[in-house]
Structure formats: structure tokens, C-alpha cells
Amino acid sequence: MMTCDEAEILIHALADGELDAGHAREVEAHVANCPRCASEFAAINEMKRALAGTDLIYKAPAALRQRIEAELPPAQPSNVTPLAGAPSRRSLLKGFAIGSAVSALAATGLVAIVLRNDDQQRIEAEIVSAHLRSLQAGHLTDVVSTDQHTVKPWFNGKLDVAPPVIDLTAQGFTLVGGRLDYVDARAIGAVVYRRRQHVINLFVAQTSSTERRAAKLDTLQGFNIRSWRDRGLSYWAVSDINVEELNEFGERFERAMGGSS
């Protein structure tokens, strides 16, 4: 049974349509039986409605738009006639119109509530699925090599940022190869290691934050996950090896990264 303390923050997520179906039902059930949380929920929705009905956007001044446009290299080579440029201009304007219509819809809450997992959990679930996929015959590696100088260049051109590839053979983790994978609707690099008969997939994705985030250990569907963030890259090491060994893998990797720069 959900308590008011638990519901306090979750009713905001409910009002924002951010809860997955299970949590939404739980919070709704609590709100239905708790007058205090029900009035809180009503107040949140009332405020959201009032805000949605008010234009709180600051329109960018035309002069600012022109200054930014002027900084951009010309979109078309100069030998193209102005006529050819016109449609793209129009399609840009169309983009604006659609954009604001969608925003208005989203703001009034008419858009269907998106049911989804918690962010971290969802990505970790995708990481584990990708790990499981990779274990099927023939799916583990796109490039097979125990040589980091073969694996790393293979990623170049396939991803905007090639994942760091580090040879940890001397530390007991054999580099097997690399693979392109898809997680969170993005292409992502996976570097594959082996420890005895166990596979370790190290997923590496670029992140907008350059803030370092210390390692976190999780278990999902029987797999251990060690995730951390460093120098603008997010890492997830996934394996069925025990958590101590996976942690050792991550520590050795991080140490090698630290030493290499």
C-alpha cells in the first residue's frame, strides 16, 4: 500500500504522464482513497491547466534570428538559383507551425500518456536485452580481434565518437572484438571482453554531460551491470560473472583510461 510520503512526488509524475502503467495505477489508487493527496493532485492539474492556457514562451527577436543566420555558412552554394532555396525556407516555417501545435497539445495534456519505465531502469533493461542478443550465435562481434589497434579504428566512421578500446588481457579480461548495437534508439558501441567462458559487453555511449559519475552496481534479470560516466561518455559493463569480478573489470578499465590520458 502506498503511503502519502511515497505519493507526494509520484503524483507530479502522474500529472505529467511520466509514470508507467503499473505505477500510474498504484498512485491513482492512492489518490482515490486519500483526500489530502487527491486535493494536491487536483491543485497540480489546475496549475498545469492554467499554465497551458497562457503563452509563456518568449519569442526570439527577429534580429537575434538574423544574427544567428548570418553566422551560419550559406546553406546553398551560390550558383543555385534563389528559387531552389525557397522551398526549404517554407518547410522550415512549416516545422515551426507543427512544432507549436505539438507543444500546445502536449501542454494541454491531450497527448496520450506515455507509459514507460523509469529512465535508468529502462536503459538498463535495454542494455541487458542487447547483451542477451549478443550471446546468440553469430551476434557477439562485428569485428573480431584481440588487438585494440584493430578494434578501435573499426568503430571510426560508424559512430560519432569511437568508444575507447583497452586491452586488459594482462589483467585477465581478454579483448574479443567490437560490435555496433542499438540502445535507447541510438547506435552505440559495444566492446566485447571474455573472462574464462563468460562474456562481458562494455557498452559506451556519448552523453551531454561531462560530469563524472562514480560507478554504480546493479543486477537485472540475473545479470550484473556496472555503470559509470567519465569525460562525456556513459559506460555499462554487463555480464553474468559475479559482481566482484565485474567491479574489478570496471576498476581496471577506469584505471587504464586514467593512465592513458
Q: Which residues bind other proteins (CB under 8 A)?
A: 8-9, 12-13, 16, 18, 43-44, 47-48, 50-51, 54-61, 64-65, 67-69, 71-78, 88, 92, 95-96, 99, 103, 106-107, 114, 118-120, 160-161, 185-187, 206-209, 211
Report whether 230 contacts 184 (CB < 8 A): no
Rounded least distance, CB 43 to other proteins, Å: 6
**What are the start-end ranges of the E strands in the chain?**
143-144, 174-183, 186-195, 198-206, 213-220, 223-230, 233-239
Q: Give the integer Cα–Cα distance in Å for 141 and 178.
A: 5
Residue among 13 and 132 whose Cβ is closer to other proteins: 13
Rounded least distance, CB 90 to other proteins, Å: 12
Grid cell listed for 157: 566512421
Rounded least distance, CB 4 to other proteins, Å: 13
Rounded least distance, CB 190 to other proteins, Å: 16
Residue among 29 and 161 whose Cβ is closer to other proteins: 161
Residue among 117 and 150 whose Cβ is closer to other proteins: 117
Residue among 16 and 244 whose Cβ is closer to other proteins: 16
Q: Give the integer Cα–Cα distance in Å for 122 and 14.
A: 18
Report whether 213 contacts 225 (CB < 8 A): no
Rounded least distance, CB 60 to other proteins, Å: 4
> Nearest CA to 183 among 200, 164, 202?
202
Residue among 175 and 205 whose Cβ is closer to other proteins: 205
> Nearest CA to 250 among 219, 225, 220?
225
Residue among 86 and 135 whose Cβ is closer to other proteins: 86
Report whether 257 contacts 166 (CB < 8 A): yes
**What are the start-end ranges of the E strands in 69-197?**
143-144, 174-183, 186-195
